[in-house]
Amino acid sequence: MILRIHPTSADASRVLAERILQIAGNASGLVNIALSGGSTPAQMFRLWASEYSARTPWERIRFFWVDERCVPPEDAESNYGMTKRNLLDLAPIPPENVFRIHGENDPASEAQRYAAQAECLIPGTVFDIVLLGVGEDGHTASIFPGQETLLTAAQTYAVGVHPTSGQRRVTLTGQPLIKASRLCFLAAGRSKRKVVAELSALSGAGPAIWVARNALHPVELFTDAEAGALLRDQPGS
């Protein structure tokens, strides 16, 4: 686990944006990135679109999603909608480079459709970059504790269920997650102290830890001092 801890969430977001630019710059062709949703990435997306747009080869980056809530794109819960508001509408991204999960469709059918699309468009279904968040319960993507069968599922995308709301989600499963060329976790804020400490030490249980522990390539954790407060010798500890 490569830990990149910075004073604020904005600093961590900027370092992650720089890392994405570095990866895209080193790539000779298309870059297939899978984005997570939730609230944390919004700041990073806005900074990417405002401060790094001119340096980004948008024409070579194809946007996929790690997961999507099974709601229409205009729903406040939509990960695509959040990304559209904070990134897609703010940068010169070719619409043909955006491959959203159709949250408005039947979950199982959409998981199959999107898996087939990803398998067709991405060689070996190996994403160049997967951007992940982590929940306080240790989930990542939409693979929640108690649904660990999704970590070893044969399908590329499957249906997860939020444990408290019962909301269904289409999610990338464990095997394509751990195959990704680069796994980048972004976590910020005091509420993530425990999971960040566990993730950085690869200790404990939960889907996020399993993914980080079984990843085929080095995993990078971008975080801030608030979330890193339990890490020894770190700012804010």
**Residue 191 neighbours by CB distance under 10 Å:** 13
Please select the residue that binds ligand 6PG; options are 9, 43, 125, 142, rule is CB under 6 A: 142
Please select the residue that binds ligand 6PG; options are 133, 206, 207, 228, rule is CB under 6 A: 133
For the CB of residue 139, give the shortest distance to ligand 6PG in the complex, in Å: 6
Cα pseudo-dihedral 147, 102, 89, 140, rounded to 10: 10
Q: Residue 37 — φ and ψ, nearest 5°?
A: -110, -135
Nearest CA to 189 out of 138, 156, 229 is that of 229
The tokens for 51 are 């401060």
CA distance 45 to 39: 11
Q: Give the neighbor-by-neighbor strand order of the sheet with 61-65.
A: 2-6, 219-224, 183-187, 129-132, 31-35, 61-65
Report the site for ligand 6PG in 78-117 (rule: CB under 6 A). Answer: 79
Burial class (CB in 10 A: 0-12, 13-18, 19+), 218: exposed
Per CB under 6 A, 206 contacts ligand 6PG: no
Per CB under 6 A, 73 contacts ligand 6PG: no
Choose one: 31-39, 88-96, 173-181, 218-226; the region binding ligand 6PG (CB under 6 A): 31-39
* Residue whose CB is less far from ligand 6PG, 51 or 137: 137
Question: What character string, x for contact with ligand 6PG (CB under 6 A) and - otherwise, covers 33-62?
Answer: ---xxxxx----------------------
* Residue whose CB is less far from ligand 6PG, 11 or 30: 11
Choose one: 119-127, 139-147, 196-204, 227-235; the region binding ligand 6PG (CB under 6 A): 139-147
Per CB under 6 A, 236 contacts ligand 6PG: no
Chain positions contacting ligand 6PG, by CB under 6 A: 36-40, 66-67, 79, 133-135, 140-142
